[in-house]
Homo-oligomer: A and B are copies of this chain.
């Protein structure tokens, strides 16, 4: 490894001078500056970031902690965050907590011990730990991503999940549907509750009530794939009912579940969208590949990721002065072919 020392020796100056030209410090003689620079080039010297960080109390490193990477929504975030961070001169250290609070804590800890300048965290969602809770063992700037709570202690970036529910509801209503069902996912997740609330409220506004039996609180653990949850949901909605009592529209709380729903409906010779309309959630690339292409609600992932980085950097820069922002991004309805007009005589 070539160090400042080597450069200094070659240039015939002191170490601190080298440091000065490196940091573009004022007042270095033009001649010495040139000397040093040519020595740097000749030796191909690159400042060591660890030593820099130890001294300067800034590592130019941010940490990203995600539940996992398999779902596309997560891996996209990871990529977008890396890209943005990189653009801003930061590197990214990545951790995956697999929804295990212990692991999450461990990662936060590890990152701090590595002197990260800040952390972007999508918290485990089983435990509804508050931001205050988190703040307890976090002493670096932090941005909370994708969870449905606001905080006056740190920045947060999330989707407007309530709005997503409204959008799904309105789309169904506009198409003339009256008997509408949905999957809710695990109700202990705040953001899923919000979506459900939005959905419900959106329907209520048009005097449609959604019965308890038409809400499938499918579990979401990593053992049960989303597709299977979708198939199960269809069982709940259809089994033991007369055909005329089938819902004609179903909103799934994510695209994988929607795919499962469509799959199961097909198997039962129920057509999508002629007999039943389906809306998904997330706008994964696969939604455009299945038959029929899925109407779904997209999250502006790139913006959200970019925003998270920007907020974090602001937080890093402003320190105590930073006034926490709680950003909620607009979801977007993407209409494809899994939704259609309600027609009475079909079912």
A72 CB contacts on chain B under 8 angstroms: 70, 72, 75
A61 within 8 A of B: yes
Interface pair A50/B59, CB less than 8 Å apart:
yes
Please measure, in the bound complex, the distance between the C-alpha atom of A322 and the C-alpha atom of B111, giving whole angstroms.
30
A266: Cβ under 8 A from any B Cβ: yes
Contacts of A18-64 to chain B: CB distance below 8 A: 46-51, 53-54, 59, 61
CB-defined contacts of A266 to chain B, threshold 8 Å: 291
Least Cβ distance of A6 to chain B in Å? 15
A95 within 8 A of B: yes
Q: Is the CB of B290 within 8 A of A113?
A: no
Beta-carbon contact of A92 and B91 below 8 Å:
no
Q: Does A69 have its Cβ within 8 Å of any Cβ on chain B?
A: yes
A91 adjacent to B110 (CB under 8 Å): yes
Complex contacts, A236 vs chain B, CB 8 Å: none
Interface of A is mostly: helix
Distance A54 CA – B114 CA, assembled complex (angstroms) = 11
Is the Cβ of A259 less than 8 Å from the Cβ of B75?
A: no
A95 x B70 contact (CB < 8 A): no
Compute how far the CA of A1 lies from the CA of B49 in the bound complex, rounded to whole angstroms. 20
Q: Please tell me which one of the listed residues B79, B110, B227, B285 contacts residue A68 in the complex, with CB atoms under 8 A apart.
A: B79
CB of A339 closer than 8 Å to a CB of B: no
Interface assignment of A189: CB less than 8 Å from any CB of chain B: no
- Shortest CB-to-CB span from A45 to chain B, Å, is 11
Known: A75-B69, A94-B78, A95-B86. A54 touches B46 (CB 8 A): no
Bound-complex Cα distance A184 to B266 (A): 34
**In the bound complex, do residue A79 and residue B83 qualify as a contact, i.e. CB atoms below 8 Å apart?**
no
A111 proximity list for chain B (CB < 8 A): 91
Q: Is the CB of B86 within 8 A of A79?
A: no
Closest to A69 in B: B79
Q: In the complex, are the beta carbons of B70 and A82 less than 8 A apart?
A: no
CB-based contact B69/A109 at 8 Å: no
- Residues of B within 8 Å of A61, CB to CB, are 93, 114
The minimal Cβ–Cβ distance linking A53 to chain B, given in whole angstroms, is 6
A286 within 8 A of B: yes
Contact with B along A109-128 (1 / 0, CB 8 A): 11111110000000000000
| A114 in complex: contacting residue of B50, B259, B289, CB < 8 Å | B50
Contacts of A82 in B (CB 8 A): 69, 94-96
Shortest Cβ gap from A288 to chain B (Å): 7
A50 touches B54 (CB 8 A): yes
Judging by beta carbons under 8 Å apart, are B289 and A227 in contact? Answer: yes
A263 at the binding interface (Cβ < 8 Å): yes
Q: Does A113 contact B79, Cβ atoms closer than 8 Å?
A: no
CB-CB under 8 A from A290, the residues of chain B are 289-291
12 A-B pairs, CB-CB below 8 angstroms? A50-B113, A68-B79, A69-B82, A70-B72, A70-B285, A72-B75, A91-B95, A91-B114, A92-B95, A93-B94, A227-B289, A263-B289
